[in-house]
């Protein structure tokens, strides 16, 4: 049975090095690569004689790897056709490319061409052992592979194999993406990997306020940079809205209805307000904490875009405004033991309620296990199917029709309190 890389019925001889020669099919190469389609044009095909065909000669094309002497492509070696005579032999004697392996480290171009040609025949690409090899070693093999695939115009055939190898590394890859999302945005854009691009964009958006994102965003493809700006700014606005919601929060039981003209004004009298004094004091303490956080700029303007605050709000309990902090309050405003307990309970109730304002921001939409591998940025960004930069305009419009209105964080459109949620805010 014929197996890659040597097919007896193949009509194309591809020579990458002395030890790496391939007998392949022009139909498969041409259908997957515009470069091969040009190289394997019928005008370049050998006109085999009937005698040659009877002898079993099938080779109509001969392609060799040559040094790249132009500036059109970033790879160091490209492909070139060699004219063949009626017997399938080079018309002009042509030296076979040197065997550059010789038991040493194999040149990256040779491995890259070998991998791309393998992928054209659905042969798994060898990028190393995902369980034992270092992530940097695997990624170092991906870049030249993509260079060759881009040169040949067949990135689509290497995307899935690359994805499979990288995903097999599990959390190692996700940690690498979280650490350096800009580099991964560049790579995943080139290979058009939906799953990996999404992961990189989520982490890049969460780090939008950091110096390394601000200084490096211009290196991205313009469409990718624009998308990152959009996501980062939307995330900042969502955090800012959550901050406003917390600062404007009032427990529902503190709300009074206007009773001008009514005989019974007990609900707005001093006695009624006095009954709620502990809630008002608790609200002042909570606002003091939030205002101090704003003063420290540990909010949407911070490098972590307010994650530390959001994490504390979600955790609740003693994560903030614990008994130690309340003791500082009581140093200026001492209370009886019973009064202190009541105040603590009132604050606990408020802390529990305001979690709703930040809950959507605490969601982890990435594939990184943030419990095992915690990060200092938000990972709640959403990526719609029509937002990937390589999606064609017409296709994007079609997908958009079935999606929402494009609001990144729908829950942040309104300040809760006027839609029957049981609490009030201005």
**pLDDT tens per residue across span 105-137:** 677 888 899 999 999 999 888 887 666 566 777
Average pLDDT in the 349-378 region? 96
pLDDT given for residue 344 in this prediction: 95
Written as six digits, the tokens of 192 are: 């058009």
Rounded distance between C-alpha atoms, residue 303 and residue 376, angstroms = 9
Rounded distance between C-alpha atoms, residue 422 and residue 197, angstroms = 40
**pLDDT tens per residue across span 314-342:** 999 999 999 888 989 999 999 999 999 99
Contact 370, 386 (CB under 8 A): no
pLDDT given for residue 261 in this prediction: 58
Q: Choose the weakest-confidence range: 79-88, 119-128, 364-373, 395-404.
A: 395-404
Average pLDDT in the 405-419 region? 48
pLDDT given for residue 320 in this prediction: 93
Q: pLDDT-derived band of residue 259, with 50, 70 and 90 as boundaries?
A: low
Rounded CA Rg of the chain: 32
Neighbours of 9 (CB within 10 A): 8
Q: pLDDT-derived band of residue 141, with 50, 70 and 90 as boundaries?
A: confident
**pLDDT beyond 80 at 12:** yes
pTM of the model: 0.83
- Structure-model confidence comparison of residues 201 and 141, the more confident one: 201
**pLDDT tens per residue across span 14-42:** 999 888 899 999 999 999 999 999 999 99
Q: pLDDT-derived band of residue 401, with 50, 70 and 90 as boundaries?
A: very low
Question: Rounded mean pLDDT of the chain?
Answer: 86
**pLDDT tens per residue across span 32-70:** 999 999 999 998 899 999 999 999 999 999 999 988 888
Please report, for the chain, the start and end positions of each structural domain, with discontinuous segments joined by +: 12-98, 110-233, 234-254+272-426
Rounded distance between C-alpha atoms, residue 355 and residue 316, angstroms = 8
- Structure-model confidence comparison of residues 225 and 74, the more confident one: 225
Here the contacts of 293-299 (C-beta below 8 Å, separation 24 or greater) are 294/243, 294/247, 299/239, 299/240, 299/243
Contact 64, 94 (CB under 8 A): yes
**pLDDT tens per residue across span 76-112:** 889 999 999 999 999 876 665 655 565 566 778 888 9
Rounded distance between C-alpha atoms, residue 284 and residue 305, angstroms = 25
Rounded distance between C-alpha atoms, residue 177 and residue 203, angstroms = 7
The single-letter DSSP state of residue 290 is H
């Amino acid at each position: 049975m014929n197996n890659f890389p040597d097919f007896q019925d193949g009509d194309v001889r591809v020579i990458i090095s002395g030890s790496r020669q391939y007998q392949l099919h022009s139909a498969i190469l041409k259908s997957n690569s515009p470069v091969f389609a040009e190289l394997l044009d019928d005008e370049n095909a050998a006109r085999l004689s009937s005698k040659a065909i009877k002898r079993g000669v099938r080779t109509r094309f001969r392609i060799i790897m040559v040094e790249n002497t132009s500036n059109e492509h970033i790879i160091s070696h490209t492909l070139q056709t060699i004219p063949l005579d009626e017997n399938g032999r080079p018309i002009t004697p042509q030296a076979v490319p040197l065997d550059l392996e010789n038991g040493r480290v194999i040149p990256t171009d040779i491995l890259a061409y070998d991998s791309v040609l393998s992928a054209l025949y659905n042969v798994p690409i060898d990028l190393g052992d995902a369980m034992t090899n270092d992530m940097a070693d695997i990624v170092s093999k991906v870049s030249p592979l993509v260079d060759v695939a881009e040169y040949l115009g067949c990135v689509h055939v290497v995307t899935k194999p690359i994805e499979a190898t990288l995903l097999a590394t599990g959390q190692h890859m996700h940690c690498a993406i979280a650490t350096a999302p800009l580099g991964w945005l560049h790579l995943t854009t080139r290979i058009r990997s939906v799953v990996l691009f999404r992961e990189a964009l989520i982490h890049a958006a969460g780090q939008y306020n950091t110096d390394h994102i601000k200084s490096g965003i211009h290196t991205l493809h313009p469409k990718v940079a624009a998308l990152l700006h959009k996501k980062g700014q939307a995330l900042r606005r969502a955090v800012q809205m959550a901050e406003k919601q917390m600062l404007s929060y009032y427990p529902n039981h503190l709300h009074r209805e206007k009773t001008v003209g009514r005989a019974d004004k007990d609900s707005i009298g001093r006695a009624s307000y006095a009954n709620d004094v502990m809630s008002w004091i608790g609200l002042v303490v909570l606002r003091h904490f939030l205002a101090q956080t704003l003063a420290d700029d540990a909010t949407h303007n911070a490098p972590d875009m307010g994650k530390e605050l959001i994490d504390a709000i979600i955790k609740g309990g003693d994560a903030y405004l614990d008994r130690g902090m309340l003791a500082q309050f009581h140093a200026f405003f001492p209370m009886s033991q019973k009064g202190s307990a009541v105040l603590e309970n009132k604050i606990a109730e408020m802390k529990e309620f305001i979690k709703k304002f930040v809950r959507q921001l605490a969601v982890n939409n990435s594939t990184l296990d943030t419990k095992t591998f915690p990060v200092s940025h938000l990972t709640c960004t959403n990526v719609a199917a029509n937002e990937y930069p390589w999606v064609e305009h017409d296709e994007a419009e079609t997908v958009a029709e079935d999606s929402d209105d494009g609001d990144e964080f729908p829950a942040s459109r309104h300040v809760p309190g006027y839609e029957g949620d049981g609490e009030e805010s201005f």
